[in-house]
Amino acid sequence: MPLDLFDPQTYSNVRRPLLEAEPLPAHCYTERSFFDREVQTIFLKHWNFVGRADMLGKPGDYMAFDFVGIPVLLLRGRDERVRAFYNFCRHRGTPLVTGEGSGLSTLLCPYHSWVYDLTGKLMSAPGMQAAKGFRTADYGLRPIRLETWQGFIFLNFDDKAGPLVDYLGVDFAEEFGSYNFADMVTVRRKEFDLACNWKAYVENAMEAYHVPTVHHTSLIEQKCTVIAGKGHWIALHEEHEGTEAILSDDTTTFPHIAGLKGRADMGTYFNLIYPSTMFGLTRDCMWWLELHPRGPDRTRLIVGSAFPKSTVARADFAEIVQRYYRRWDKSIPEDNVISQLQHQGFSPLVPVAGRLAPDEPVVHVFNNWVLDRVLGRTAA
Ligand code: FES
Ligand SMILES: [Fe+2]
């Protein structure tokens, strides 16, 4: 009998306690039908992080991108508000802009010249006067729900979803608020096209088991504890001196962020905001890994980094920040290489089970979180 990808029995060993558990089977990383179900039950229903508001610093700044097959446009209006729209013309669907840039005063469709203002209102539609019952007021751009937390932009494609603050949970601001992210400046973003499944990349980012092997020349071994959030997040926390954002052989760093409290002042968080955003939060800066799944075997990775305004204003910022870039430019390609290599080993034709390591608790929680959504909740 062929394997039923959506039968809870297929995953009974993933549902076992960590010390007895198997990882998700290979088909979860390769099968189009499993990916399509993830899009429907996860990405179209949850809040998705897509960047920081300071990346769109001025009215007319914009970014267009694909998110799980949906063309998205982020845009700062003349009223300073950042909005999100489905990036297609209400005439016959052409994207209004591509890539990113600045200086937009209107949105002019490149196909038949319909024009929208920066709030999405259709201002003119040439040659439509004789179209019966056509009113420009009915054909504005379709908005996408957008909410921000301390400068981080999240989108939700489900108009019925609850607010972002409830999604992050009551303890999110308590745990992470003292970083004062609203005061940070995004200084760099890098994009990578990866030939791997989005889940494999999340799993890699959320276990320190691979660090001594994959990062043996770049990072020191990490001893982390797990912090389970009340909202849609789970973090690894590592206690240490100094910052985690430079290489193990480096010492010159920026001052610590003023006012850090509790665990924030004691080391580094590696935080997963479900479904697919990872924040590295250390004493002097933060960086993020943002995933845009494109198919079962394609993922766009965006790596951003942000520092406090006072740090960016230092005369030596441009020089010292190179040490931080060196760290990310070494460790992130190491993760990219191993995640893509791992993907090549996923063969649904040879369904041989693996086994999770005791040092991979968040991988286990994350695997079950995915199954809860894709299958509907089934008891662990
Ligand atoms: S598709 Fe935009 S004006 Fe025709
Ligand atoms: Fe890694």
- pLDDT 10s digits, 195-207: 999 999 999 999 9
pTM as predicted: 0.96
Burial class (CB in 10 A: 0-12, 13-18, 19+), 92: exposed
| CB-CB neighbours of 164 under 10 Å | 22
Given ligand 1 and candidates 85, 94, 98, which is best to mutate, with the most ligand atoms within 8 Å of its CB? 94
Percent over 70 (pLDDT), the chain? 98
For 283-322, how does the pLDDT look when each residue is reduced to its tens digit (9 = 90+)?
Answer: 999 999 999 999 999 999 999 999 999 999 999 999 999 9
Q: Which residue has the higher pLDDT, 1 or 221?
A: 221
User: Nearest bound ligand to CA 334?
Assistant: 2
Atom of ligand 1 minimally distant from the CA of 89 = 2
- Summarize the confidence of residues 132-159 as an average pLDDT: 98
**Strand pairing partners for 290?**
277, 302
| CB-CB neighbours of 5 under 10 Å | 17
Residues around the ion ligand 2 (C-beta < 5 A):
335
- State in Å: Cα 375 to ligand 2 middle: 29
State the CATH architecture for 11-46+178-375: Alpha-Beta Complex (3.90)
Atom of ligand 1 minimally distant from the CA of 93 = 1
Given ligand 1 and candidates 85, 86, 88, 89, which is best to mutate, with the most ligand atoms within 8 Å of its CB? 89
Pull the structure tokens for residue 95. Answer: 């994207």
Atom of ligand 1 minimally distant from the CA of 113 = 3
Helix (H, G, I), strand (E, B) or coil at 92: coil
pLDDT at 252: 78
For 14-40, how does the pLDDT look when each residue is reduced to its tens digit (9 = 90+)?
Answer: 999 999 999 999 999 999 999 999 999
Closest CA to ligand 1's atom 1: 92
Pocket residues: Cβ below 6 A from ligand 1: 89, 91-94, 109, 111-112, 114
For 224-258, how does the pLDDT look when each residue is reduced to its tens digit (9 = 90+)?
Answer: 999 999 999 999 999 998 888 888 777 878 999 99
Q: pLDDT confidence of 379, banded at 50, 70, 90?
A: very low
- State in Å: Cα 216 to ligand 1 middle: 53
Q: pLDDT confidence of 380, banded at 50, 70, 90?
A: very low
Q: pLDDT confidence of 222, banded at 50, 70, 90?
A: confident
Residue pair 107/98 in contact (Cβ under 8 Å)? The answer is: no
pLDDT at 377: 66
Lowest mean pLDDT among 43-52, 203-212, 360-369, 371-380: 371-380
User: Nearest bound ligand to CA 203?
Assistant: 2
Nearest to 95 by CA among 122, 123, 66, 75: 66
- Residue ranges matching CATH 2.102.10.10 in the chain: 48-160
Percent over 90 (pLDDT), the chain? 90
User: Nearest bound ligand to CA 342?
Assistant: 2
Contacts 24+ apart (CB under 8 A), 125-132: 125/91
Pull the structure tokens for residue 296. Answer: 């079962």
pLDDT at 378: 53
Closest CA to ligand 1's atom 3: 112
Interstrand relation of 184-194 and 48-52 (parallel, antiparallel or unpaired): unpaired
d(C-alpha 255, C-alpha 13), whole Å: 47
Average pLDDT over the chain reads 95
- Residue ranges matching CATH 3.90.380.10 in the chain: 11-46+178-375
Pull the structure tokens for residue 211. Answer: 């660090």
- State in Å: Cα 90 to ligand 1 middle: 7
Given ligand 1 and candidates 88, 92, 116, which is best to mutate, with the most ligand atoms within 8 Å of its CB? 92
- State in Å: Cα 73 to ligand 1 middle: 16
- State in Å: Cα 97 to ligand 2 middle: 35
Q: pLDDT confidence of 181, banded at 50, 70, 90?
A: very high
Flag whether pLDDT at 352 surpasses 60: yes
Q: How far is CA 242 from CA 29, 173, 179, 284, 317, in A?
A: 37, 23, 15, 8, 18
Cα angle for residues 237, 325, 213 (degrees, 5° grid): 55
**Which CATH number is correct for 48-160, 3.40.50.880, 3.40.50.1820, 2.102.10.10, 3.30.70.270?**
2.102.10.10
Atom of ligand 1 minimally distant from the CA of 110 = 2
- State in Å: Cα 218 to ligand 2 middle: 10
Flag whether pLDDT at 88 surpasses 60: yes
DSSP character at residue 162 = P
